[in-house]
Structure 1
């Protein structure tokens, strides 16, 4: 159950940050005259993907550790 909570939290946090990054990118690319907002949006999207992948990695690692412990007993 703990893995499901962590995966759900990672999914929601990643989605919120991804939405914010896409919004900043679109605003910087199409609306604003300042190009640094586009770069911040790209960086935010990359950060959201990194957070999501790290969350999946932690859940998978914990699941493998739990399976190993059950196998030893």
Structure 2
């Protein structure tokens, strides 16, 4: 398995777990809790999970493009 594929799998699972935790914190803070602190933490956690996923996809795509560019022949 290529290294960029391993990175995509790791980012997918880490992002999914953090996103699930963030949604649970948001739902708890919005519907069950009287205070608004947990709602803000939930929103921040969801945004962090999305940021981690986007950056991981960007890094994996960049690595794949660099590997493909290294294999190609330069035509002059």
Q: TM-score under structure 2 normalisation?
A: 0.92
Moved >6 Å (runs of 4+): none
For 2:67 and 2:37, the matched residues in 1 are separated by 45
Q: What is the deviation of 1:72?
A: 3.8
For 1:70 and 1:38, the matched residues in 2 are separated by 49
Structure with the largest fraction of helix: 1
For 2:73 and 2:45, the matched residues in 1 are separated by 42
Identify unmatched segments of 5+ residues in structure 2: none
Instruction: Give the match's secondary structure for 2:34.
Output: coil
1:4-23 matches, cutoff 5 A:
4-23=5-24
Identify unmatched segments of 5+ residues in structure 1: none
Q: Which of the two has higher C-alpha Rg?
A: 2
Query: Partner residue of 1:25?
Result: 26
